[in-house]
Amino acid sequence: MIFVSIILLIGTMSTTLLLAYSGGALTMLMFLLAKGISVWRIFNMNYLAFEMLKTVAGSIGLILTVPLTAIISGFILVRHSKNES
């Protein structure tokens, strides 16, 4: 049960992260298209590669952080409950 809730939490957080990054990139994409730059040239820009790298790095960090935080808090909770008994 806990594993399923962790997976759901990671899914919702990574989706939020992806939407936040793509929302920032979408405004720049609209600006570049309004300036008359072709779509193929935009895809070859360093900016697009940077945004994709930022999204992947943030998702990896998020995927690693959530389970590690759950494991550490579990150890603290077990240690705390043993000290009380």
pLDDT at 12 > cutoff 80: no
pLDDT at 81 > cutoff 70: yes
pLDDT value of residue 35: 92
Q: Calculate ∠ Cα 54-41-50, nearest 5°.
A: 10
pLDDT at 6 > cutoff 70: no
Q: What is the number of structural domains in the chain?
A: 1
Question: Are the C-beta atoms of residues 36 and 85 closer than 8 Å to each other?
Answer: no
pLDDT value of residue 48: 78
Q: How many CB atoms lie within 10 A of CB 77?
A: 10
Domain that holds residue 52: 2-84
38: which DSSP letter? Answer: -
pTM: 0.55
CA 13 to centroid of chain Cα atoms: 6
